């Protein structure tokens, strides 16, 4: 899988996971506030503008701002599936 597609997949999974934790409305609303991320249906990231690593960091920061360490613990298993992408925190 191309790295750009991996970033889209990992971000989509993060948003889906946060939808369970925060509720879909809040999780998607937070993702939509990230200017580099264009959302598709549900929790799907349709496209990323600019640096995908920066967009990923902003997305994670947005969720951490709300729920702190709970978010970090929930993201660990997602990152293990994408060894080419590192958590920037």
| Full residue range of the structural domain in which residue 69 is found | 3-80
Quick one: tokens of 48? 């990323």
CA distance 8 to 12: 6
The predicted structure's pLDDT at residue 12: 97
The predicted structure's pLDDT at residue 85: 80
* Structural domain contains residue 62: yes
pLDDT (tens digit per residue) in 5-49 = 999 999 999 999 999 888 999 999 999 999 999 999 999 999 999
CA distance 21 to 18: 5
Q: What's the domain count of the chain?
A: 1
The predicted structure's pLDDT at residue 50: 94
* Structural domain contains residue 89: no
CA distance 44 to 8: 8
Count CB-CB contacts under 10 A for residue 69. 8
* Structural domain contains residue 86: no
pTM to 2 decimal places: 0.78
CA distance 38 to 59: 12
Answer whether residue 87 shows pLDDT above 90: no
């Amino acid at each position: 899988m191309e790295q750009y597609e991996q970033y889209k997949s990992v971000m989509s999974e993060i948003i889906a996971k946060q939808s369970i934790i925060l509720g879909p409305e809040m999780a998607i609303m937070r993702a939509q506030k990230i200017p580099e991320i264009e959302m598709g249906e549900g929790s799907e990231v349709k496209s990323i503008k600019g640096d995908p690593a920066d967009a990923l960091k902003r997305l994670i920061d947005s969720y951490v701002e709300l729920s702190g360490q709970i978010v970090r613990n929930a993201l660990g298993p997602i990152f293990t599936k994408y060894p080419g992408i590192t958590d920037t925190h």
